[in-house]
Amino acid sequence: MQMRRLGAHGPEVSAIGLGCMGMSFGYGPAGDRAEMIALIRRAVELGVNFFDTAEVYGPFVNEELVGEALEPFRGQVVIATKFGFALDPAGGPKWVGLNSRPEHIREVAEASLRRLRVEALDLFYQHRVDPEVPIEDVAGAVGELIREGKVKHFGLSEAGPQTIRRAHAVQPVSALQSEYSLWTRMPEREILPTLAELGIGFVPYSPLGKGFLTGGITQDTQFASGDFRNILPRFTTEARVANQALVDLLAAIGARHGASPARVALSWLLAQQPWIVPIPGTTKVHRLEENFGAVEVVLTAEDLTEIETASAAIRVQGARYPEELERMTGR
């Protein structure tokens, strides 16, 4: 597996990481625990050292899963987790708002350390910007944890350019995590130039369009109960029919390289900047191996030009999130 550094201040990680959320949360029933542990350890065998989780995934159970799976590899892997949501005090798999107050950040860090079975959190992201707490206070709180040795690197997720700058001025930001793929290209407008200027790495989540860019989802696909794609405007039947043109483009490019649409989509991301590290998620070993094989696909300048020209003529239909969730991004 090739390695990349997350910006000027971040850790060295595998060029492709593993997003672990879907093993426990968001895509229907959780996977079998023993099978998910085996899948995570198979990723390590393939050379992956970068794993992504969060307290809210479950909540808590995904961190516990990742902690158990990676305990034998302590010191050899980089685990990213996140704070920033207020969880339902009555329990249950839901959040009830945002909370990035400094005292809460510390509470989350201490709990995540226990669940992940580590002595320091490698990368600690603010999951969503909390408009009630100045970002300088957030950065300062994480900075204290870094000085205490409980956190190694500070990250932000789905933050806007001004928030990134303000946070970075207080505590260097190692990485920003936001959605980015061939069907979600908003970061190219302001975010990527900001990160390049400041020396911050970029970690695209949903780099395969929540599975759509693999070509495995059609207009007839039925999602399980509890799969959040059931509420996403981009996954209506009409949107899927219209957006198939993007998958067809990836398949045509892939045919030249003997590569699947998923591998082409990930290779395209890797070609954008040397400090971009996508984190596709999966619950299937064969998909895991397919995704990480993207590092072997080298798109030519002609391929990249064709993708750019053809995708510009494809109008992706459907918002990526319902309005109330989209309002939580780009702050």
Q: Where are the domains of the chain?
A: 3-326
Q: Is the pLDDT of residue 92 over 70?
A: no
Measured CA to CA, the distance from residue 230 to residue 233 in angstroms comes to: 8
What does pTM read for this prediction? 0.97
Q: How many helices (H) and strands (E) does the chain have?
A: 11, 11
pLDDT band at 89 (very low <50, low <70, confident <90, very high): confident
Is it the case that residue 93 has pLDDT exceeding 90?
Answer: no
Which residue in the block uniquely carries the two structure tokens 């949501």?
Answer: 85
Instruction: Please say whether the dihedral angle defined by the alpha carbons of residues 13, 288, 256 and 253, taken in this order, is positive or negative.
Output: negative
CATH of domain 3-326: 3.20.20.100
Query: pLDDT tens, 286-320?
Result: 999 999 999 999 999 999 999 999 999 999 999 99
State the CB neighbour count (10 A cutoff) for residue 99: 19
Whether 180 sits among the annotated catalytic residues: the reply is no
Please report, as a single letter, which amino acid is at residue 328. M
Q: Which residue is catalytic, options 57, 125, 180, 205? A: 57
Encode pLDDT of 203-236 as tens digits: 999 999 999 999 999 999 999 998 999 999 999 9
